Each structure stands twice: as structure tokens, then as C-alpha cells.
Structure 1
Amino acid sequence: MAILMEHDFDVDAVLKRPLMAHLATASTAGACDSPVWFLWEEGAIWLVGTSNDSFPKRLRANPKCAIGVVDFDLERGVLLHVGMRGCAEVLPIDRNRLHRLLRRYLGNDPRGWGETFRTTVIEPLDLMVRFVPETVVARDQSYFKS
């Protein structure tokens, strides 16, 4: 169970939105950042990838990582940040969970996802990453537009 260190808003409400996350991992060359789509389920962040992607290889070598999610709306002056640290594990693909993740970003009808996108991006996906946060910091850094 994650320790919620600081929070200014409902973390679950932000993590349920189709936002981009940034996965920070370590490598022999230094820190790496990967922008990723994610699914927040069962107290974990779920990511998808392929066996050829570099971030699963880095996580197998060192499962310690961090994930940041930002909800930013310039017009409304909203800036919410969720920062998490923990460990990740690389698992086989779960097609049902994959489709729940994809529907968040692409809509409910797979026929509208685009044939090229399905064949070049979705079909090669063969693994999932399960990240369980150990610590969570959630800060509201919003401002008011003048």
C-alpha cells in the first residue's frame, strides 16, 4: 500500500483520466524518461510495451523507478502533479487490461482506432508493466489567469 506523503486533491480522480505519464528509469548511461499511456487499477499503474522496447529491459535490470502524471490546462489555470516512487515488474500481456487501457485514450470502438495504428502499434504489444507506488506526492500547483 502506497504512503500518501502529501496531497492537495483526489489522486484517484486524476489517475482515472487519460493523461500522459512519464516513467523514469535508471540505465548504465544515466536516467531515462519514457512518456507512456497508463491505466490506474487495483492500486497500480499499468503500462504496455513490447519485448523490443528499452524501458522493460531497464526495469528488469533495476525495478526501482518513478512515475509522474500532470494534469495541465492553460485556459483554466490548472496544474495538478502526481509523483510516485516504487518498483515495477514486467508481466505477460493481459489482453482485457490492454483493451481497457486503449479505450481510455482511443475510445470504445476499436474499429475507429485506425488500421495502421492497430497493426503497427497495438498488435506488437506483448507485455505489461505493473508499477506499485510506495510513496505518492500530489500537489496542486494551479494558478489563476488574469
Structure 2
Amino acid sequence: MDVNEFLSQPLVARVATKGPEVRPVWFLWEDGAFWWLTGSYSRLEQLLTEDSRVALVIDTCDPAAGAVFSVTCQGVAEVVPLDRAKAVRKLTRYLGPEDLWPVRFSAPLDDPATKMVRFAPDRPPRLHDRSW
């Protein structure tokens, strides 16, 4: 499995910001960056304004198969305007077709306070295989 194949799966990333504060996020890996949503429901925009450095980890563990894969990145994140098409691609990975989404996921896309975080890591992500 290569890094792009791994990152195309609907996995959960954990993002660490100043504090440290760690939060799980659904993400999209596209255009050499990780993308996720933020809005008035989150303090993330404020935290990134204070200090835009973040660390991110995405990992899987299958004890029965002895398979452990991970991607760990560091760098600077920026809050950018909502790209609705990108947000829909991200949410479709996790929830399926848009017409099947619960309102709590579709409503924020119509909220002017909803934005995206763009995180381009300092180095290209590498997939680490720590299987035994």
C-alpha cells in the first residue's frame, strides 16, 4: 500500500494544536494538503490564529493481523474560505451520497461561518508500516 492509497481511506486524523489540544477530524488529502472543516462550533480557528503550527497523525491497527500503519506530519495550517466542492468530496468519503447525510453534516455547508483548514505538511507524508 502506498501513502496516497492509505490516505484515500475514510480514516480519522488526530490534530494537535497549541496547548496542546488534540482533536479528531475527518479529512481530505488533496493537492498536497490535508483539508477539514471548522466553524463557529469550534475553537480551532482561534487556536490557529494564535499559533498555526500543528501535528497530525493518522493510524490503523489490526491486532489480529499484526498490521499497524501510520502517517505523521507537522507544519503550519491556515484557515481558508469554504470550498464547498472540496467539503462535499470530504464528507462523501465518510457519509456516502450527499442526499443521505444527516442535517447536522449538510447544514454547516450553508453557514457563512463554516471555513476549511488547509494543512500542507513540511514534508510529503510517508506511510510507516510497523506490522509484526
TM-score by length of 2: 0.87
**Among residues 35, 38, 51, which one is paired with 1:62 in the alignment?**
51
Once residues 41 and 65 of structure 1 are traced to their aligned partners in structure 2, the CA distance between those partners, rounded to angstroms, is 18
Deviation at 1:122, TM superposition (A): 5.2
1:77 aligns with 2:66: yes
SS in 2 for 1:12: helix
Matched, 1:131 2:119: yes
> Which of 13, 20, 25 is equivalent to 1:36?
25
Higher relative contact order (CA 8 A, sep 6+): 1
The alignment status of 1:142 with 2:131, answered yes or no, reads yes
Gaps of 5+ in 1: 1-8
Question: How far 1:85 sits from its partner (Å)?
Answer: 0.5
Q: Which structure has the larger Rg?
A: 1
Greater strand fraction, Structure 1 or Structure 2: 1
List gaps (5 residues or longer) in structure 2: none
**TM-score, scaled to structure 1:** 0.79
Residues 102-117 of structure 1 correspond to what in structure 2 (within 5 A)?
A: 102-107=91-96, 109-117=97-105
Partner of 1:23: 15
| Aligned residues with identical type, % of pairs | 36
Compute the RMSD of aligned alpha carbons: 1.9
- 1:10 and 2:5 aligned: no
